[in-house]
Structure 1
Amino acid sequence: MDIESKTGFFSDRKRRNICIGFGVTLILLIVILVILAFTVFKAKDPVITVDSVALDDLNVGLDRATATVNMNLTVAVNLTVENPNKVGMKYKDTAALLIYRGEQVGEVPIPAGKISADESVRMNVNLTVMANRFVSNSQTFNDVVSGSLPLSTYTKISGKVLIFSIFKVHVNSVSNCSFTVFTSNRTVSDQQCTYKNTL
């Protein structure tokens, strides 16, 4: 084998070794990224916490002769949405709902937004009753006469996190809070909240 052939042989082997080394490094890098994506950077659902529920407005008119109710009611709800992920989270347009005996009687939109990594964002929403839906319920009159209205709020946050600009993971969280509005002294009591992640 002449010198030129030897040089070509060593050059080919060197190129092959470089390619193999590059391939092994790339595979290792991908494995490390995947491991991190499913451990340290594993996507977590946002956490919705209802900090407080209070009456912002309450006006009740009761006609006993016709058993009808006229009512204006606004409930102020303070929420905290926490992003427990190590990357930012984007969430879609959503809404907070006011529920009376299983029927939606109020709604307020929550526009889409972004929450940075490990950040908590406070949201203050005012839920005003849709009077026509509220008074059309046959139980409204009796509840107003008794002085207590059983209500609940429902809030769902749906979004996504992008890990290493490669892995897109959808995350969801739901909060339900039931409470009682006492019309006689205009207070809110018996608040009970449940939180559910739906990842």
Structure 2
Amino acid sequence: MTTRANVNGEHRPRPPGLPPHQNHHQPQQHYYPHPNYSSSSSSSGASFKGCCCCLFLLLTFLGLLVLAVILVIVLAVKPKKPQFDLQQVSVQYVGITTAAASPTSPATSASLSLNIRMLFTAVNPNKVGIKYSESKFYVMYKGVPLGVATMPGFYQPSHSVRQVETTVVVDRINLLQTDAEDLVKDASLNDRVELKVMGDVGAKIRVLQFTSPRVQVTVNCIVVISPRKQTLTYKQCGVDSVNV
């Protein structure tokens, strides 16, 4: 057993089990986190928020810049609505076939065969080109659809006039009794069959790489044909432009 001296120089025996150089009165040590740990975490969050704020400001600036460029181009070009009109209608064939219950009774059904050619004129008064999308024109008799004419899309240069041709072919379409009676009466007695041509034409103005919103041109025409002469006797059109 070993002894140790106290403050008075007296030697006392060392308690058993205690290491030779360990002081049993030594205070317990505590460990604390590094003082820079919390500050580094808060600085990372602030840096992330700063990056998000900078990105938002950058996107806002780019959006305003694009809007300003478009506005300058629009003010410089001063775009005008395109003009689209049904110029000519030529009747190539008109045929009406009737069926009645008896020779004295009125027509109970009728079939119409029709082949007409329509010539549209497109006028571009702008300093830039116009892109037309594919369009469809419906031919109707008293609200009954008879046929559809399809016009393919095309590009029209600035300050130019272009003619587009399309054909409507109606092959023996059957009409109900009331419409059949009216058709036979118009064709045989009056030699006058009134048809309506309706359709929408979509156009966009292109400036450099920018495309304007779609402008819809509505074509609404009344055409009157003569079955006996196989010709057009009357035409009246109205064109409305609507932004969509």
Shorter-chain TM band = 0.7 to 0.9
Greater length-normalized contact order (CA 8 Å, ≥ 6 residues apart): 1
Label 1:162 to 1:137 Cα distance change in 2 as closer, same or farther (>3 A).
farther
**Which residue of 70, 84, 92 maps to 1:56?**
92
Aligned partners of 1:72, 1:169: CA distance in 2, in Å? 39
Residue pair 1:159, 1:171 contacting (<8 A) in 2 also? yes
Deviation at 1:33, TM superposition (A): 7.0
User: Could you give the per-residue CA deviations for residues 113-142 of structure 1, whole angstroms, max 9, x where no partner exists?
Assistant: 21111222211111122533x523631332
Residue pair 2:138, 2:197 contacting (<8 A) in 1 also? yes
Label 1:174 to 1:83 Cα distance change in 2 as closer, same or farther (>3 A).
same
Deviation at 1:169, TM superposition (A): 3.1
One-letter code aligned to 1:135: L
Label 1:155 to 1:119 Cα distance change in 2 as closer, same or farther (>3 A).
farther
Residue pair 2:92, 2:230 contacting (<8 A) in 1 also? no
Label 1:71 to 1:103 Cα distance change in 2 as closer, same or farther (>3 A).
closer
Note if 1:193 corresponds to 2:230: no
**Length, aligned pairs only:** 169
Note if 1:108 corresponds to 2:144: no
Q: Give the corresponding residue for 1:67.
A: 108
User: Could you give the per-residue CA deviations for residues 146-181 of structure 1, whole angstroms, max 9, x where no partner exists?
Assistant: 323220112321021122434533222122110222
Deviation at 1:31, TM superposition (A): 6.7
Aligned partners of 1:41, 1:96: CA distance in 2, in Å? 31
Q: Give the corresponding residue for 2:133.
A: 92
Note if 1:161 corresponds to 2:202: no
> What TM-score do the two structures reach when normalised by structure 2?
0.61
Percentage of identical aligned residues? 17
Note if 1:145 corresponds to 2:185: yes
One-letter code aligned to 2:114: L
What is the CA RMSD across the aligned residues, in angstroms?
2.5
Aligned partners of 1:164, 1:73: CA distance in 2, in Å? 44
Determine which structure has more spread, i.e. the larger CA radius of gyration.
Answer: 2
User: Structure 1: which 5+ runs fail to align?
Assistant: 1-29
Aligned partners of 1:33, 1:138: CA distance in 2, in Å? 55
Runs of 4+ in 1 over 6 A off after TM superposition: 30-33
Aligned partners of 1:171, 1:153: CA distance in 2, in Å? 20
Label 1:67 to 1:119 Cα distance change in 2 as closer, same or farther (>3 A).
same
Note if 1:184 corresponds to 2:228: yes
Determine helix, strand or coil for the equivalent of 2:184. helix
One-letter code aligned to 1:62: T
Residue pair 2:204, 2:211 contacting (<8 A) in 1 also? no
Deviation at 1:79, TM superposition (A): 0.7
User: Structure 2: which 5+ runs fail to align?
Assistant: 1-66
Residue pair 1:45, 1:172 contacting (<8 A) in 2 also? no
One-letter code aligned to 1:34: L
Deviation at 1:99, TM superposition (A): 1.6
Aligned partners of 1:185, 1:158: CA distance in 2, in Å? 35
